[in-house]
Chains A and B, each alone.
Chain A
Amino acid sequence: MISVPDRTWPAPEPNPETKPYWEAAAEGRLLIRRCAACGRAHHYPRALCPFCFSDRTEWLAASGNGTLYSFSVMQRAPVPYAIAYVTLEEGPAMMSNLVDCDFDTIRIGMKVRAIFKPTEGGLKLPMFTPA
């Protein structure tokens, strides 16, 4: 089954803590948050590091390369879609969708890369497609 192009995605609602993430995504760049104190990257991005609780966190440009951790094809939906967790090259995993692929070929462990899809509100969402 091919993912249907007319699926629409609701817009995220950024807040002061997350605005740079969505501004970058709108320009086709994936950011993640890394802690300058302990050196670890995390997701979703926070002002305070979820590992060491330092407030010295900073934005880092992610490569957009990742590995599929898990997925599910939501069949009971107006337009079926593939939800997923992708483990990023930088360490953390993020929720996303797998798009522009045959859902029957999706396999855990496959290499994926980030692409960006417009939402109903104009912002873009990071998604993934087979690398």
Chain B
Amino acid sequence: MTIRGKAYIAGAFEHPLRKAPEKSVAQLHAECAKGALEDAGLGKDDVDGYFCAGDAPGMGPLSMADYMNLRLRHVDSTDTGGSSYLVHVAHAAEAIALGKCSVALITLAGRPRSEGMATGTAPRPGNPAQPDIQFEYPYGPTIVNMYAMCAMRHMYQYGTTSEQLAWIKVAASHHAQHNPHAMLRDVVTVKEVLDSPIVASPLHRLDCCVISDGGGALVVVAPEVMKSLGRPRVKLLGAGEAPKGQLGGDIDLIFSGARWSGPRAFAEAGVTPADIQYASIYDSFTITVLMQIEDLGFCEKGQGGRFVADGNLISGTGTLPFNTDGGGLCNNHPANRGGMTKVIEAVRQLRGEAHPAVQVKNCALALAQGTGGSLGTRHGSATLILERE
């Protein structure tokens, strides 16, 4: 059993707002749903499967399904943090392959910017029943210092430098200048990244993604539905998922779950990293990108610093064009969950609908990679491989 060729992404929509104090979270979910369905050429009543993560307002999918008044025969509220939406695409394809639904809607929305959330810099108390919390929260773990410890270890073990990490932000900024919706549109230099203040050593402010309101949605459909729509066909070729934690105390911060989710997706798709023409790589921080690039096999473990340097991720000049919308580092990180926008930009590239300045020529094979949670403690990784048919 495989999901190879069993499902298509027919609709994709990124909310244009980056700050939405005048809208409710439920409203943002529904606006994204409407946008993605219109993009697909489908209506609300065509939806028979609905996916959202645990942060959606209400219990799992129930409140949002009720708000939109959906009539469903399949729901899934798997939450693996920012990578949830890639997992949802894979699970939607599985459900479609089994005949459990034929039009799956996936939504994400949130307002951390309007709500003044200190996303990366404040420890989150969590639920006391979470088994790890009493052994971690008192010490002040934040999103940024946990990723910083990954970066520090990577530097120690492989000689990776802050300059090399900075190149990832520089590449993202080169792409963001062409995106009118991007939060940060100014092209930055390596020096500007290094001159920005340290948030948690060794990560600077410009190593960190933006905090934005908004959201996005995707519509995943069965092949027979796709044929009826007359839209460019983006076919799911392969998917992999893998949670990674502290391994019972055998902590290893130099790799992500992409080491496991990536090969599963490549095997199912029957392609190799060298075949990939465009890659959306989750970019909560620069180090996140570097680790996943290694783990997916675009270069050897430990060589990521050399690989990303000198503009190698910039579309048109580099060998691995990435995050051509500007990514989470410059464009958008809606609801602190960047997996949705990773899939959306991969769909744009495969349709030839990316900005002409960053569009990969004849882009027929793309990868979307997400991690969610924290690379420093426990996270979910998900990999999708998509093809233009």
Contacts and interface: CB of A to CB of B under 8 A. Distances in A.
Are both chains from one complex?
Answer: yes
Interface string A1-42: 000000001111111001000100000000000000000111
A73 B141 CA distance: 11
- In which size bucket is the chain B interface? 35 or more
Contacts, number: 117
B230 interface: no
Interface stretch (B77-85, B127-135, B323-331): B127-135
Contacts of A94: 135, 249
B250 interface: yes
A70 to B, nearest CB: 4
A43 B253 CA distance: 16
A93 interface: yes
Nearest to B135: A44
Nearest to A103: B201
Interface string B118-146: 00010001001101111111111110111
A40 to B, nearest CB: 8
Interface stretch (B3-11, B192-200, B263-271): B192-200
A42 B249 contact: yes
Interface stretch (B29-37, B147-155, B333-341): B147-155
A42 B248 contact: yes
Interface residues of A, number: 42
A50 B245 CA distance: 11
A75 B131 CA distance: 28
A18 B138 CA distance: 15
Interface in B234-272: 246, 248-251, 253
A91 interface: yes
15 contacts: A12-B138, A13-B134, A40-B248, A44-B132, A44-B249, A50-B248, A69-B251, A71-B152, A72-B145, A72-B203, A74-B121, A74-B144, A75-B198, A76-B200, A93-B249
Interface of B: 121, 125, 128-129, 131-142, 144-146, 148-150, 152-153, 156, 197-203, 246, 248-251, 253, 377
Given A71-B152, A83-B139, 6 more contacts: A9-B140, A42-B248, A70-B149, A72-B146, A75-B201, A108-B152
